[in-house]
Amino acid sequence: MSDQALSADEIVALSKKHTMFEWSAQSAVDPIPVSHAKGSYFYTPDGKRYLDFNSQLMSVNAGHGDPRIIKAIQEQAAKLAYANPFMAHEPRARLGKKLAELCPGDIDAFFFTNGGAEANENAIKIARMYTGRSKILARYRSYHGGTAAAMALTGDPRRWAAEPSIPGVVRFPDFHKWARKDPEPVSESLRDVEEVIMFEGAKNIAAILVETVVGTNGILIPPDGYMQGLRAICDKHGILLICDEVMAGFGRTGKWFAVDHWKVTPDILTMAKGLTSSYVPLGAVGLRRRIADHFDKNVFFAGLTYNSHPMGCATALATIGVYEQDGLIERAAKMGESMKRHHQALYEKHPCVGATRSIGLFGMVELVRDRKTFEPMAPYNGTSDEMKAVHAHLKEKGLYTFVRWNGIMTNPPLTVTEEELAEGFAIIDSALSLVDKSVK
């Protein structure tokens, strides 16, 4: 093969032949070849443009190709591309300090990982070491990552293939049940939690782990009182509250962290994705001071070759700098109001829209066959002809987003403009017209 650039077809064919694609039967994958990206758009080698309405994996929060982040990566690579995690270096030092300023309450010590799953793995390990207890409570409608323990913590079907999984993970009921328009009343959800704690024995439970706002399982936003209630239950029983903000953190919901909406300080806060806008891999586990102090005398059993990577830390600092300089967190809140108006217009126009949910620029449109019964347009963990048609239409029209089960995700970069939002929602509008006839 020559050194000439590969064509789009060659990129797809070679990638399919010699690399394994994520979470798919390999014969079913149909990857979009991507060559470059800027702002809210990415492009194929043969020039097709896609509006990125999912920020890739709800992660490129600062938009594609920001020159300030790229410059920081280049400068760090030239200066110190790697140092092992036993060493202290300037990006590590500065990032720890910066995150301590941004995180809620007394979360002021950070362990830097390669991504979100590894952050959650370490979060539960730390909770077990700190409390001396073993069980972790997690919910069904959740995703916490694709490594062994993170899959065990995950409630959705992505965990099935890895079962039987790690011992000690116990599920508790969701605050928003499948195929329901509205969440459960807060008092009932909290009573469910208390009941599971009673059956499992509070003294055996190290932590409750939740996505503060649930991401891929449907952008589920806890009603006011739920997070505060979880916090109070944890305090009552000496259980740690771990909030997974791998997806919800760094402005996605219109605040630095989703917990800020409810003024709750978790004991452990995990993050990744928006931390670097995914320009390079980095995750983090944030610890409240008393938990960090526990490891003054007790060994902190954690560490991989790439932890606290200088490239990751430098990229995160530059990314946070961009969020601050451009006011992107506030912008997400403001543009989130525009997104709500677009959602509402779709709800009013299309009988197939059963519900829309959003907080900041974290949103989704949920399709149903019947608004009264809320029968989903696709079954749990499945698809349908209608959802396949929606997906194909969006792709053809150049809108990239996740169509998952009966939902269409709407999660553009925080830099998205009014015009881009209008462009994306016009394409979704046209896709929904294909589906309305399936409504009973």
Positions in the binding site for ligand PLP (CB under 6 A): 57, 115-117, 120, 143-145, 211, 215-216, 244, 246-247, 272, 283
Specify the residue, 23 or 199, whose C-beta has the smaller distance to ligand PLP: 23
Specify the residue, 35 or 147, whose C-beta has the smaller distance to ligand PLP: 147
Q: To the nearest 10°, the Cα dihedral for 382, 387, 392, 393?
A: -160
* CA proximity to 51, closest of 410, 293, 359: 410
The nearest distance, CB 143 to ligand PLP, in angstroms, is: 5
Specify the residue, 107 or 220, whose C-beta has the smaller distance to ligand PLP: 220
C-alpha distances out from residue 11 to 6, 35, 163, Å: 6, 10, 34
Specify the residue, 113 or 189, whose C-beta has the smaller distance to ligand PLP: 113
The nearest distance, CB 209 to ligand PLP, in angstroms, is: 10
Specify the residue, 219 or 439, whose C-beta has the smaller distance to ligand PLP: 219
The nearest distance, CB 398 to ligand PLP, in angstroms, is: 24
Count of H-run helices and E-run strands, the chain? 13, 16
* CA proximity to 403, closest of 392, 413, 415, 419: 392
Place of tokens 């990415």: 42
What CA–CA distance (Å, rounded) separates 390 from 421?
18
The nearest distance, CB 196 to ligand PLP, in angstroms, is: 21
The nearest distance, CB 214 to ligand PLP, in angstroms, is: 8
Specify the residue, 115 or 310, whose C-beta has the smaller distance to ligand PLP: 115
The nearest distance, CB 59 to ligand PLP, in angstroms, is: 8
The alpha carbon of 224 is separated from its chain's Cα centroid by a whole number of angstroms, namely 21
Q: What angle do CA 32, 33, 36 make, to 5 degrees?
A: 115
332: left (phi over 0), alpha (psi -120 to 50) or beta: alpha
* CA proximity to 103, closest of 343, 289, 379, 307: 289
